[in-house]
Amino acid sequence: MGKFSSDYLHSKLSDAKVHFERALDCKHTEFDDLYPYMIEHPQFFWYKRYVAWSELLTIVKLCGELEVDWHEMFTEKQAEYITSRVMSSRVLDEWYETNDSKEHVG
């Protein structure tokens, strides 16, 4: 059961990360389908990002409570943003920063 829970949570965490990143990039997400009338609203993308960020934080919180490591899916900087929990303009602007990432190939 422990292994199943861990794999399941990692899958949900990956989904939440993709959802947040799609919201950051202003790409289509489930939120667009749920609230099609809001697309005309000037703050739509802010709401969309807020919803995706909240989802990501919820999954991370569950991982923490169940002692499932979530850090490995994120860069060090992204993990810091998640730990601080506040979606600031810095998070939105610097989420994709890869300067300190070992995976970055120039």
- Helix (H) / strand (E) element for 17: namely helix 2-24
Per-residue pLDDT, averaged over 89-102, amounts to: 77
Residue ranges covered by each domain of the chain? 2-94
Q: What are phi and psi of 75, to 5 degrees?
A: -70, 165
Average pLDDT, the chain: 87
In this structure, the number of other CB atoms found within 10 A of the CB of residue 38 comes to: 14
Length of the chain: 106
The secondary structure of residue 104, as a DSSP letter, is: -
pLDDT category at 49 given cuts 50, 70, 90 is very high
**Residue 106 predicted with pLDDT over 90:** no
Give 38's Cβ-side CA count (13 Å radius).
12
Per-residue pLDDT, averaged over 57-84, amounts to: 95
What is the model's pLDDT at position 81? 97
Per-residue pLDDT, averaged over 92-102, amounts to: 73
pLDDT top residue among 48 and 97: 48
Q: What does pTM read for this prediction?
A: 0.82
